[in-house]
Amino acid sequence: MKKFLIILLSSILLPVFWGCNREQYSGEPTVALVVKTLNNPFFMEMQRGAEDAAKELELNLVIQAAEREVDVEQQMQIIENLIQRKVDVIAVTPSGSRELIPVISRANQANIPVIIVDTRLDEKLLKSDGAQISTFIGSDNFEGGRLAGIYIGERLNGSGKVAILEGIPGHETGDSRRLGFLKGLEESPDIQIVTSQTANWERSLGYNVFENILQSYSDVQAVFAANDLMALGALEALSSNREAENEVIVVGFDAHEEAIEAIRNGAMAATIAQHPYEMGRMAVENASRILKGEEVPDEIPVQIELITKASLPDL
Amino acid sequence: MMQIQNIRQFGTFIGLLVLCLLFWILSPYFFTVSNLLNIAQQTSIIAIISVGMTFVIITAGIDLSIGSVLAFSGVVMASALHAGVPIPLSILVGFSVGYVSGTINGLLISYGKLPPFIATLGMMSIARGSALWYTNGRPISGFSDSFRFLATGDILFIPTSVWIMAIVYIIAHFVLTKTKLGRYTYAIGGNEKAAILSGINVNRYKNIIYGVSGLLGGLGAVILTARLNSAQPIAGVMYELDAIAATVIGGTSLMGGEGTIYGTLIGALIIGVLRNGLNLLGVPSFIQQIVIGAVIIGAILLDTQLKKQKE
């Protein structure tokens, strides 16, 4: 029985491993892209962009992600394992702005160039630890937040009550968006932020937290969610709860497919479009340039823009 | 009895060897000294908290709070370090938070007569909430090199965290096989009523066992914090499940009364080797989760079949 089970298990596992393993013996250099999670359309788009570029440039591409977005320790383990595997370049969207710095130092020691995508690392800690990155590719989240702030300010004619749904506290991405949003609102000093709470980037929490906000602040006029999943959650809370006295302007971030749909049918007001496909593509393209010994700039900006119903092309 | 135990451990040990052999054949990067040390280091945190879990599960209990307790003791320790408290003292503070949280679990279970599942489920939420509240949800980062040495340093070419893991396992094995506490742990899980009737102060020993589980959560927090150079209130989410998996793969019965420490070490290593090997092979992330689940089920299946055969 024991032998039978071992044979059964190995016969299932062996072909799976074998199939995945072939690429590493071919001659082309290998680029690894480590994203935060693959349960989010944003990172799936990034994956698509990276895959297209890898095909074009004839590079091997390995894409890995932790099981859970919050699990930065697992992301660290994945990078350690990629260092063991001696991949040629590692591109990573950090799940923590500080926590990954030790493992980046280790990639430096192994002479593997590191490209940071989408989420910035803590510059101060990076410097004090002596860790080196080749380039940062991403859109300016602060600028995106600022665009959202200016938009809400204009829509409310400079005065009103606004709520914020934050991402996971301490994440650079969410913090920058929130700070950018506050900066954008500075042009409308009569706007009051009634509450700013985290919904951990999640749709279901976006629903619950915004429902609670509606209970305590039924006169809220606009909400800025630091990503579209939370904005969509807030939208669902609004449609199931009519405590709100007036129409609530919902603004998200990321230009998620469903958010675009909601903007088209008028339920949601706006979102900020980043271009994850471009980020993935540029990550692999620049990895290829590094491998050829070409210089790459310290920072490579990716376009960011405000999307409203007016700016959407007609179907 | 002892013989059955040995054969079962042998089964999981063979499983680990088969897994290693498989990866060795498939990847030229697997069987290198640096990768094996890498695996040992990556396994150390789960392995350490699995020791507490093993004691708890042998008493027919469960500790669902361990991941959250790890996070809470981590952030309290980190704030002590940032306040300038000396390193040993800060670590002691972290240990105390873990020990007290664990002991509260124990008290709820022993004197409160709550099922362990419920008591520790409650503590899971309380400790996580406390960690988030204590830090306002933000990580505490940046520590001295001497503190970070606890995870990133080497002693005689072996990472510090691996030494810590080895010491914990040696002590735990000794306690479980050679001391009164160990014998009573088996007795409570084997037949609690009989244990009470034979004069064992079951409540007292349960408090100790759950307390130690929390304490080891604190030790896990020291290594995790040193490794990431940051203590996160959201650290350790679902570590309890990895620890339970390692313990059960290692042959400890969820019904209580049987289990070994070295079995748990093998269980933790199986999970660590799998994660590492699948990464080395570049197996897509989603498939990795399927494979890990399949191996957990396969290992337990092997175990129960063997047991049936023996009987």
What ipTM goes with this model? 0.79
For B50-106, the pLDDT digits (tens) are: 999 999 999 999 999 999 999 999 999 999 999 999 999 999 999 999 999 999 999
Closest among B227, B211, B237, B90 to B165, alpha carbons compared: B227
The pLDDT-based confidence of A7 (bands split at 50, 70, 90) is low
Residues B133-148 have a mean pLDDT of: 88
Q: Is the dihedral of CA B32, B37, B43, B47 positive or negative?
A: positive
Residues of B in contact with A68 (CB under 8 A): 237-238
Report the distance separating Cα B226 and Cα B222, nearest Å: 6
Query: What does the block give as tokens for B196?
Result: 């009470």
Asked if the model's pLDDT at residue B1 lies above 50, the reply is no
Compute the radius of gyration of chain B from its Cα atoms: 19
Q: Is the pLDDT of residue A245 over 60?
A: no
Q: Which of residues 39 through 58 in chain B touch A, CB cutoff 8 A?
A: 42, 45
Residue A28 pLDDT: 83
* pLDDT of B231 over the 70 cut: yes
| Contact between chains at A70 and B280 (C-beta distance less than 8 A) | no
pLDDT tops 90 at residue A243: no
Share of residues in chain B with pLDDT > 70 (%): 95
Contact B275, A77 (CB under 8 A): yes
A249-251 sheet: strands from edge to edge: A190-198, A159-166, A222-225, A249-251, A270-273, A305-308
Smallest CA–CA distance, residue A102 to chain B, in Å, is: 7
Is residue A15 scored above 60 in pLDDT?
Answer: no
In chain A, % of residues over pLDDT 90? 47
Question: CB contact, 8 Å: B128 with chain A?
Answer: no
The contacts of residue B188 (CB under 8 Å, 6+ apart) are B59, B60, B195, B200, B202, B205, B206, B256
Closest alpha carbon within chain B to A128: B142
Q: What percent of chain B has pLDDT over 90?
A: 56
Residues 6+ apart with CB under 8 A from B311: none
pLDDT at residue B275 tops 50:
yes
Which residues from chain A sit within 8 angstroms of residue B309, using beta carbons?
A: 1
pLDDT of residue A23: 46
A157-161, B157-161, B307-311: least confident range: B307-311
Structure tokens at A169: 């506290």
How sure is the predictor about B216, in pLDDT bands with cuts at 50, 70 and 90?
very high
Contact B15, B270 (CB under 8 A): yes
Reduced to 3 states (helix: H, G, I; strand: E, B; else coil), residue A30 is strand
Question: Average pLDDT in the A82-88 region?
Answer: 92
DSSP letter for A22, please. G
CB of B141 less than 8 A from some CB of A:
yes
Checking B288-293 for CB contacts under 8 A at 24+ apart, the result is B289/A67, B291/A13, B291/A16
**Inter-chain Cβ pairs, chain A and chain B, closer than 8 A:** 138
Dihedral sign, Cα of residue B134, residue B114, residue B56, residue B254: negative
Average pLDDT, chain A: 86
pLDDT > 70 in chain A, percent: 90
Chain A residues inside the 8 Å CB shell of B276 = 77, 81, 84
The mean pLDDT value of chain B amounts to 90
Q: In a mutagenesis test of the A interface, which of B132, B232, B311 is the best target, namely the one with the most A β-carbons within 10 Å?
A: B232
For the stretch B99-118, pLDDT in tens is 999 999 999 999 999 999 99
Chain B residues near residue A80 by CB distance under 8 angstroms: 38, 42
